[in-house]
């Protein structure tokens, strides 16, 4: 998403510290919304048109704050058009599929798990005992421990790797997908 306020800052050689408090606060709020938007995209979903319009309105408001700063005026005397929490809540609702009772893991955790499995695989580790998993990959271990069912197949699958239990030899096998 192209943000007009960033273009204006670059065009005028401005840094965040050059801007007045209102503009900086608006940018912080906009960045929080963009982080939530990134979570939505990582969940494989697209934002609604309504959400995109709200983000554009926030960008426009911040841009006008920058114009006021550059022109030493105070024409943008309205409040931020939307609260960041309101938009973030909308985005969170979009992340959860109405037909699903499963709430996706926090992106930070899923990224950490992906990295732990990747590191083991990249270091030539293609099978691991549960004891070694606890030491080398604590996030994976915790996830498996908290959801372990002795009657079911257990493991973790990410976008690029799988860590699956083989009950015959009590090992977990790591594969690149």
Q: Which of 73, 62, 51, 75 is nearest to 28 (CA)?
A: 62
pLDDT at 128: 94
pLDDT at 41: 80
Domain that holds residue 160: 107-176
* Buried b / exposed e along 65-95 (16+ C-beta atoms within 10 A): bbbbbeeeeeebeeebebebeebbebbeebb
Looking at the domain assignment, is residue 100 inside a domain?
A: no
Is residue 90 domain-shared with residue 118, that is, in the same domain? no
Point out the domain boundary residue: 43, 68, 95. Answer: 95
Q: How far apart are CA 68 and CA 72, in angstroms?
A: 6
Please provide residue 48's backbone torsions phi and psi, each rounded to the nearest 5 degrees.
-75, 160
Is residue 150 domain-shared with residue 67, that is, in the same domain? no
pLDDT at 154: 87
Point out the domain boundary residue: 95, 115, 146. Answer: 95
Is residue 161 domain-shared with residue 135, that is, in the same domain? yes
Looking at the domain assignment, is residue 52 inside a domain?
A: yes
pLDDT at 97: 47
H-state helical runs in the chain: 4-11, 21-42, 49-71, 84-95, 107-122, 130-136, 138-147
With vertex at residue 13, the alpha carbon angle to CA 8 and CA 18, rounded to the nearest 5 degrees, is 90
Looking at the domain assignment, is residue 31 inside a domain?
A: yes
Residue 128's DSSP bridge partners are 172
pLDDT at 37: 85
Kindly give the confidence (pLDDT) of every residue in the chain, 177 residues in length, as a single tens digit, with 9 standing for 90 and above: 889 999 999 999 999 999 999 999 999 999 888 888 888 887 778 888 999 999 999 999 999 999 999 999 988 888 888 888 888 888 877 765 443 434 444 456 778 888 889 889 988 999 999 999 999 999 899 888 888 888 888 899 887 889 999 988 889 999 998
Is residue 17 domain-shared with residue 67, that is, in the same domain? yes
Looking at the domain assignment, is residue 61 inside a domain?
A: yes
Is residue 33 domain-shared with residue 89, that is, in the same domain? yes
Looking at the domain assignment, is residue 57 inside a domain?
A: yes
Looking at the domain assignment, is residue 33 inside a domain?
A: yes
Residue 89 Cα distances to 71, 77, 82, 153, angstroms: 35, 26, 12, 35
Please count the structural domains in the chain: 2
pLDDT at 96: 57
Looking at the domain assignment, is residue 102 inside a domain?
A: no
Is residue 35 domain-shared with residue 87, that is, in the same domain? yes
């Amino acid at each position: 998403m192209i943000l007009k306020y960033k273009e204006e800052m670059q065009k005028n050689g401005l840094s965040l510290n050059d801007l007045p408090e209102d503009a900086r606060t608006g940018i912080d709020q906009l960045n929080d919304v963009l982080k939530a938007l990134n979570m939505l995209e990582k969940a494989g979903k697209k934002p609604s048109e309504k959400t995109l319009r709200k983000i554009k309105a926030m960008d426009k408001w911040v841009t006008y704050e920058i114009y006021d700063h550059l022109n030493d005026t105070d024409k943008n005397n309205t409040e931020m058009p939307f609260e960041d929490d309101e938009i973030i809540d909308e985005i969170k609702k979009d992340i959860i599929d109405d037909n699903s009772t499963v709430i996706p893991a926090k992106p930070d955790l899923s990224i950490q798990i992906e990295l732990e499995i990747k590191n083991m695989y990249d270091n030539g580790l293609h099978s691991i005992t549960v004891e070694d998993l606890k030491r080398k990959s604590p996030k994976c271990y915790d996830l498996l421990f908290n959801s372990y069912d002795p009657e079911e197949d257990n493991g973790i699958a990410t976008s690029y790797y799988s860590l699956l239990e083989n009950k015959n030899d009590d090992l977990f096998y790591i594969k690149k997908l």
